[in-house]
Amino acid sequence: MGSNIRDIQDIELLRHYHLDKTNPDTWVDEEDLPSWVHDDDINTDHGGRVTPRERRTNSIDEDFALSEQTDMLGLVKGNIFMGKNVRGDTNLISSTQKSFNPQRYLYAVHADTSYDDLCVGVDRLKSSIDQRSSALKVLVQNNFDRFVSAKNVIDSVYDDMKEKTLNETQDYGTHRLFTILRESYGKAHEVINPVLERREKIDKLRSTVGLLEPYRLFFNLPNTLQESIKQGKYQQAARDYNKGKVLLAQAFPATTSSVASDTASTHSSSTLIETKRRVFDKVWSEVERIVARLRADLESQLEEPWRGMEEHERNIKLLFELDTKTDPVWHCLSSQYRWIKKIMSESFDEQIVLVEELRKSEEYQQSENITLIGRTALFKQILGAVSSSEFESQFAKEPEVKLLMAIHTGVKTLSDLLLRLLPDFWKLAVAFMDGKIQKVQKRRTVVDPQRVAQCIAMVKDIIELYSNEMTSILIDSLVVQRTGEMDDVYIDEHERPGPRRESAVVMAVFLSKIITEVSNCVNDINALSLRGGAFMTLVELMQRLRWKFVKVICMCWGDDAKFFYQHEDWTLQAENSQVTLFVGLFYQFHEFCLRSAYKYASIWTAPTEEAVANDDVLAVIPEQFIEKIRGTFLDALYSFLDGLVHLAFADPERPNNGESSGARSLENLNGGGKKAKTIDITQLDSRILITISNLSELRSVTIPKMLNDFEKTCSMSIAGDGKALIDIVDQLDTILFDDFIKRKTVVATRLITDGILYGGTDWSACPKPTGVHSYMYETLLSLVVVHAQISEIAPPLVSRALSALLINIAQDCLRCFQEVKRFGMGGMLQVTLDMELMNHSLVQYQSASSDEILQMIYEAVDRAYHPEGGENLQVEMAGLKRLLSEAKDSCHVQFKCFKKPK
């Protein structure tokens, strides 16, 4: 045990001082030590951490360093290296160094120390050395039993090893190792010999590879192509394929590029060349197989419609680079042509089915059954919202709006399809016809003229398909004509159908959107500069659409005008209380239809195949279009006037409460928010007076404004038609006014006739008058009632009506007085008093005709007057004046309404 501990201590000591043995023969300086001694990894673990042994060594080094800094004699305190005599190499005064010099140490540390102190220090040094020796002895004594135990264990282990392996039988422990090495040697021969053989083959292959090194790209071509195709790098694959062709031509310059040619094989002059040819043939066959599959993939992509035209052009160029045997441009054009026709036909069929379903729906069929009040309210709301951007969303639930929205959607869908598909198709077709793609690929092949004609025919066929679809949707089935709407078909007025489901206003809104959509599509197609007359199909389509739309809007316009009177709700305007809102409503309706019809007739589209810029100019409008619009414009006005007369004389179909949503809508439309006055439409007189006022408004304001707007819009004078229209208005006004006056005159006529002829008055023998006759009071009071009625409804008509009534009353009086055969003094004075009161009360309504009739009355009375003797006419006339004055005063209040306002 003691021996083991000693050995361990020796090892530690040798390791610390970097010695080979405990009794070295020579001294080795630190700088002469091998490099591994200074390696930091000697005393550290694999992670760079300091090991316990290193920490222990560092601690020892620190103790040595500390001992070096203290005085060995114990006389000097502190660090001896800080002394003033310490100069130069401190190794001379360090007791642990080889170069330690006692004299130098004493000089540096104890130069000023006395002899006695040095003697004390020597004793102290000896004592310290003895203590250290005693400590070592105690250490050995205390651990002696361990040293013995360790020695016994080591001897026991050594004996056991000698008995088992460290003997001659086991070759002192090397027999097993030798056996393993011998077996390993045999196996090494088994492994190494094939390796050596392979090495010879490698050398041969290396020489072959050296021969084929310039064609390494060629032999890697199959893998390169597959990798490029897998990553979608088709352009890179085409470049590599062309490089392979160049390398193949360089490898066999005297032969064709086809390595499979038997003719080339017959001209081979050496076995090496033949072998080389077979190798190249095998590689190139694989390349051709890969490229053939790539060609097939690219050709199939040309048939895929969802790919963009740029991708198709790229694939076409790639196919040319890959030496395709077919014409990829023609293949792409044919595929795209079939697909375009198919998708346009399918889209058209879908839109037609949707439109027909809406047209046959129960909701649409029942839309005719809407009540008159509901129809009027809806019409006014629609007319008030025609300029709103939310028109469609606001009325999207209405059946006719749904139908027209579906038609507009169908037109927009087909137009968008044409604009999305045809430009790319035509661009590719032009490149094909001009041979541009072939020129890019340096294949100056002459394009077949028949193929060029077929390209133009395909484009024309697509255009005609679009034209036919637009014709089917917008011309053939836009509006279903009913019996009585065909030209040259007469149907009795009572058998004519009612209002159409399709309102002219709603129709105009959507026809404007539709024709704008088609016009924009046609103009965009014009920018493509199509050839072969294909664009002229669209020009003809636009002409037919313009005429159809003008006819449709004129038909709906005229039809709505015939039944426009149904929208009259007898609500008076807040600003002009003698005119109904109905007049303004018709003006807005009429003007909107006029502008819409003119828009369809004048919308601009390119007239030829040459690309023409649209400078916001109007198209040349055929005279037929303008005449159609003019005729409908005037017919609608005449129909409206007929409706006014019908409204005046027909029984009202609904009561008027003045609060309908339609009335409020129109008030908002006119910018008014005031509450309008209403009238009792159950009275015929009220309706006639309002109608006369409406006719007056039409004659003086509305119709001249409409005529002026028409002339400005259509650049056409209709002065003659306007004069005829005004004449019609005057005639209608006269008819209505005469009817009103006639019925009001009946009362006065009866009163006058009864009072003059059948009142029991003997005009030849009656006494002198004491007052105005009762029939005259009653007649004037009836005029007061008429005055009040007219003032309430149509104040401007008061003067005209009372003037006419005055004339009629005067005529009645003249007629009755002419029947009296004889007048006495009293009768003549009574007539004079009655006529003067009437003349005085209605003085502001007198006219030349009434004055003339009154003069005729006096003349008729004068002719029938037979005076009696003894009568003083002057005195009687003075008394008559007094009676007239009293009569005026007594009826001043009753007849005050006849006075002219001050």
CA distances (Å), 236 to each of 225, 228, 240, 373, in order?
A: 8, 7, 6, 75
Question: Which tokens belong to 316?
Answer: 């076409």
Question: Which tokens belong to 366?
Answer: 């029942």
Q: Are the C-beta atoms of 21 and 14 separated by less than 8 Å? A: yes
The span from the CA of 13 to the CA of 700, in Å, is: 137
Torsion of CA 641, 644, 648, 651, to 10 degrees: 120
Instruction: Please report the pLDDT score of residue 220 as a whole number.
Output: 72
Contacting residues for 13 by C-beta, under 8 A, at least 6 apart? 19, 22
Contacting residues for 734 by C-beta, under 8 A, at least 6 apart? none
Instruction: Please report the pLDDT score of residue 412 as a whole number.
Output: 92
For the chain, the first-to-last Cα distance in angstroms comes to: 155
Burial state string for 583-610 with b = 16 or more CB within 10 A and e = fewer than 16: bbbbbbbbebbbebbbbbbbbbbbeebe
Nearest Cα to Cα of residue 642 among 725, 716, 739: 725
Instruction: Please report the pLDDT score of residue 2 as a whole number.
Output: 44
CB count within 10 Å of CB 251 equals 20
Measured CA angle at 542 (ends 540, 543), to 5 deg: 65
**Sequence letter at residue 123:** D
Q: Hey, CA dihedral for 55, 61, 67, 70, is it positive or negative?
A: negative
Torsion of CA 121, 123, 129, 135, to 10 degrees: -120
Enclosing H/E stretch for 588: helix 581-602
The span from the CA of 555 to the CA of 481, in Å, is: 10
CA distances (Å), 571 to each of 217, 679, 700, in order?
A: 95, 7, 20
The span from the CA of 667 to the CA of 483, in Å, is: 37
The span from the CA of 812 to the CA of 753, in Å, is: 7
The span from the CA of 298 to the CA of 517, in Å, is: 37
Burial state string for 49-63 with b = 16 or more CB within 10 A and e = fewer than 16: eeeeeeeebeeeeee
Instruction: Please report the pLDDT score of residue 699 as a whole number.
Output: 92
Q: What pLDDT, in 10s, does the model give residues 796-822?
A: 888 999 999 999 999 999 999 899 888
The span from the CA of 839 to the CA of 852, in Å, is: 12
**Sequence letter at residue 411:** V
Instruction: Please report the pLDDT score of residue 77 as a whole number.
Output: 76
Instruction: Please report the pLDDT score of residue 549 as a whole number.
Output: 92
The span from the CA of 704 to the CA of 714, in Å, is: 15
Angle between helices 825-841 and 873-890 (to 10 degrees): 40
Q: 155: number of CA atoms within 13 Å, CB side?
A: 8
Partners of 21 in beta bridges: none
Q: Hey, CA dihedral for 408, 410, 411, 417, is it positive or negative?
A: positive
Instruction: Please report the pLDDT score of residue 657 as a whole number.
Output: 45
Instruction: Please report the pLDDT score of residue 368 as a whole number.
Output: 65
Angle between helices 684-697 and 719-756 (to 10 degrees): 150
Q: Which residues of the chain have pLDDT under 70?
A: 1-69, 82-89, 208-215, 251-273, 275-276, 299, 302-313, 315, 320, 322-323, 325, 367-372, 435-448, 480-501, 606-619, 653-678, 869-872, 901-902
Long-range contacts of 296-300 (CB under 8 A, 24+ apart): 297/229, 298/234, 298/322, 298/328, 299/324, 299/326, 299/328, 299/331
Q: What pLDDT, in 10s, does the model give residues 584-633?
A: 999 999 999 999 999 988 887 766 666 555 545 556 788 999 999 999 99
The span from the CA of 695 to the CA of 316, in Å, is: 75
The span from the CA of 603 to the CA of 550, in Å, is: 11
CA distances (Å), 684 to each of 578, 644, 884, in order?
A: 16, 13, 37
Torsion of CA 512, 518, 519, 522, to 10 degrees: 180
The span from the CA of 127 to the CA of 110, in Å, is: 20
Q: Are the C-beta atoms of 709 and 594 separated by less than 8 Å? A: yes
Question: Which tokens belong to 681?
Answer: 């439409």
> Using H for helix, E for strand and C for coil, what is the string for 753-813?
HHHHCCCCCCCCCCCCCCCCCHHHHHHHHHHHHHHHHHHHHCHHHHHHHHHHHHHHHHHHH
CB count within 10 Å of CB 752 equals 26
